[in-house]
Structure 1
Amino acid sequence: MLLTGSPQVRLPLVALLAAACTAGLLLSPAQAADAPADHDRALRAQLRELTSAPGGPPGVIAVLTRGSRTQILRAGVAETGAERPIEATDHMRIASTAKAYSGAVSLQLVDRGKLRLADTIGHVLPRLPRAWHRVTLRQLLQHTSGLPDYTEDPEFVSLLTADPRRHFDSRRLLDFVAAEPLRFRPGARYSYSNSDNIAVALMAEAVTGRRYEDLLARLVYRPLDLRSTSLPEGYRMPEPYMHGYDVTPPDAPEDVSEALSASGVWASGGIISTPQDMTAFVRGYADGKLISDRTRRQQLDWVDGASEPAGPGENKAGLAIYRYTTRCGAVYGHTGNFPGYTQLVAATPDGERSLTFTLTTQVNKTNKPALLKRLRTVEENFVCALLRTS
């Protein structure tokens, strides 16, 4: 398994038998009357194909929102051995899409004069290694910092493998790579690192004197009315939740929903939310309503770089946000993967149209490259459906 892009770590978990997959479409009567039936049938078929693919998820849900109209398409089940379909109110691990939340916090602090994009680790977090001191907040948010990725550290991986539910001190995660130099000169190139967003959260705490969890509640959850979103330290999932699985044929899917402690990923990928809340978040985040126009212009200064896993179409990296340019147009958002879950959230630049796409197994370029290629094609087709005008 991979921790949002870390080397693969297999965990000894109790296997559960997979159930036959079902599919469905949830629309209000008024929406159903307007829905292009052929398009919807094709989209539903693609979701079913994902659940039946080798290594595919037991369940998948896609939420498409156009203005005030919401369409939910899904396939499979929320839990193997049961017939309950995934609901938009089911909890899930949002994986590295949590990095967009640290962006939402830090960019608002920039607007409030608490932080500057040019602020360095040395200025705000002087206890961190001197070799890292010239790295700026901008570079952390855009993954051009050169910070070594703590989730790739052998000691971290060994501790996690020995006890997947181990409680880490989230604010000391960077200690695992404190002896390492930068991997390249800050700003020289793009390289995705889970360490970046740990440092961003620590910066936010340092300049406000508030816990990162409190800043999330104050600056993100409340303004966007996110009522089912949290950043826990433990491994428990709140009910109801969609179960996440390790799917490695020929073995039966193993439930890994509560296999790992969120303390080991914290601001880099530990948030729990629901498709409903994620929809509200990405609409508010992508349209820039949380930040000033000046800060948004800097956020949307793109460089070559893909999210992990790569999103649909051509990927470009901004500050804690990505642009996915598909054959049908561009959307802004973020992806993520964590044992048991793979995520995409995206919205049009005005926030009027959005897509939240969730699989209940982990898919990335390391563990399932062929399935990721297939997934990106399906995601692009869903973006095209989202953007179509008729």
Structure 2
Amino acid sequence: MEHGPAPPAGPGAKLDAPPRPRPRSPPVPPTVPPRVRRPLIALLAAACLTAPLLAPTGAAADTDHGRRDALDRGLRELTTAPGGPPGAIAVLRRGTRTEVHRAGTAEIRTGRPLRVTDHMRIASTAKAYSGAVALGLVDRGSLRLDDTVGRVLPRLPRAWHRVTLRQLLQHTSGLPDYSQDAEFLALVTEDPRRHFDSRRLLDYVADRPLLFRPGSRYAYSNSDNIAVALMAEAATGRRYEDLLARLVYRPLGLRDTTLPQGYRMPVPFMHGYDVGTPPTRPEDVSEVLSASGVWASGGIVSTPEDMTAFVRGYAGRTLLSAPTRRDQRTWVDGASEPAGPGTNRAGLALFRYATRCGVVYGHTGNFPGYTQLIAATPDGERSLTLSLTTQVNKTNKPALLKRLRAVEEDFVCALLRTP
């Protein structure tokens, strides 16, 4: 299968210069612990700080401190649970008021505390960023939600041609998931730091038909967001990385968000761990996998601070026009991966989480070493990010995922409470 030449990358093709490069961590030996290498196939398929806040008094102070203590306790219990993360951090923001909760450490070796400016792999929450690019191009008339793969990417398999951009964004396309392909998984297992041609990841499933009639049902697929990025490039003649910078990073002031191709992390970063059952020691997997193999589906590196700014803009009113937001919020039955708090429904690169305390919009993600939730109210005025330094999903740690979703719902309730 051919995709055709990559979009032009010379001076005349780029938009504005990308954000300044971040310092990189020093090289590490290219060995992968055997215990980490073996589960790669499965992995792929306490203090509260507030600022700035007005100090409550009397009964209000007792209630507020009690609420914060309960949230802190929830994070601590995650970090001390069997298989739990060495570190967890949550950022609540209401208007201009920010509240940070954290437990554990950003690095077991040093015991360093987690910070909102620490880098981390944001996993499949990166799919919301590809949604922001595509929907931004819809607003500008460069793409339409009813544009088909056949019209925009005619060199992709003919069997996929009737799939629309809308269906890709909503995971109702039927595209087979390249990340579950046996050849792809074998290559990753053989060399987790292998550099893939990100724009050819769909080659691994190019000989396969659609799994179902487009639009007939929901099925989460990493292939969808690779195709979304390729459509964005084809429609503009710009590289996806440049579109991210122009349409997402700059409008929202994201200074510490990048889409790397390699395995190294910018410093400082939260170390991600594979956590087994004690007495097995956690293995640092922060730099085990190359981001080139997930690209627009999950390769972005960011910080809690930047992710807060992103979800407020994307789920709120900053990035998209009102008509495009209405399309974005057309819901079907479907959960993010891993499932988020409450009852999940799927929109266009956005999920609706209906909890016992109210509704927020956002996305989740998991990747070896990291688990993420970003969420915001429909107006973008209140937001939540919650990050763990180990991978948690329904396959590898179902009991811990259940506990995590309960903690996430507690944080949503805290977010939505009346001050």
TM-score grouping bracket, smaller chain normalisation: over 0.9
Q: Is the 8 A contact 2:52 2:97 kept in 1?
A: no
1:182 aligns with 2:210: yes
SS of 1:345's equivalent in the other structure is strand
- Counterpart of 2:250 (choices 205, 214, 222) is 222
Q: Is the 8 A contact 1:59 1:75 kept in 2?
A: yes
Paired amino acid for 1:27: T
- Counterpart of 1:361 (choices 390, 402, 414) is 390
Q: Is the 8 A contact 2:116 2:303 kept in 1?
A: yes
Corresponding pairs, count: 373
Residues 6-45 of structure 1 aligned to structure 2 (within 5 Å): 12=33, 23-28=46-51, 30-31=53-54, 33=56, 36-45=64-73
Structure 1 residues 156 and 122: CA distance shift in structure 2, 3 A: same
Q: In the alignment, what sits opposite 2:406?
A: 377
Give the deviation of 1:12 after TM superposition.
2.8
Q: In the alignment, what sits opposite 1:170?
A: 198
- Counterpart of 1:64 (choices 76, 87, 92) is 92
Q: Is the 8 A contact 1:13 1:256 kept in 2?
A: no
Q: Is the 8 A contact 2:360 2:378 kept in 1?
A: yes
Q: Which has the larger displacement, 74-83 or 264-273?
A: 74-83
Deviations 1:34-90, CA, capped at 9 Å, x for gaps: 761000011101100000000000000000000000000000000012221100000
SS of 1:203's equivalent in the other structure is helix
Q: Which runs of 4+ in 1 moved over 6 A?
A: none
Give the deviation of 1:288 after TM superposition.
3.2
Output the CA distance in 2 between the equivalents of 1:45 and 1:249. 22
Output the CA distance in 2 between the equivalents of 1:150 and 1:197. 11
Deviations 1:333-382, CA, capped at 9 Å, x for gaps: 00000000000000000111000000000000000001001100000000
Q: Is the 8 A contact 1:229 1:277 kept in 2?
A: yes
Output the CA distance in 2 between the equivalents of 1:13 and 1:30. 47
TM-score norm. by structure 2 comes to: 0.87
Q: In the alignment, what sits opposite 1:253?
A: 282
1:275 aligns with 2:304: yes
Deviations 1:266-297, CA, capped at 9 Å, x for gaps: 00000000000000000000113211111111
1:148 aligns with 2:160: no
Paired amino acid for 2:47: G
SS of 1:199's equivalent in the other structure is helix
SS of 2:339's equivalent in the other structure is coil
Give the deviation of 1:217 after TM superposition.
0.2
Q: Is the 8 A contact 2:343 2:353 kept in 1?
A: yes
Q: Which has the larger displacement, 288-297 or 314-323?
A: 288-297
Identity in percent: 76
Gaps of 5+ in 2: 1-31, 37-45
Deviations 1:287-330, CA, capped at 9 Å, x for gaps: 13211111111110000000000000000000000000000000
Q: In the alignment, what sits opposite 1:19?
A: none
Gaps of 5+ in 1: 1-10, 16-22
Structure 1 residues 32 and 366: CA distance shift in structure 2, 3 A: farther
SS of 1:259's equivalent in the other structure is coil
Give the superposed CA RMSD. Answer: 1.2
SS of 1:27's equivalent in the other structure is strand
Residues 84-163 of structure 1 aligned to structure 2 (within 5 Å): 84-163=112-191
Output the CA distance in 2 between the equivalents of 1:37 and 1:265. 41
Output the CA distance in 2 between the equivalents of 1:29 and 1:127. 53
Give the deviation of 1:14 after TM superposition.
8.3
1:318 aligns with 2:347: yes
Give the deviation of 1:31 after TM superposition.
4.2
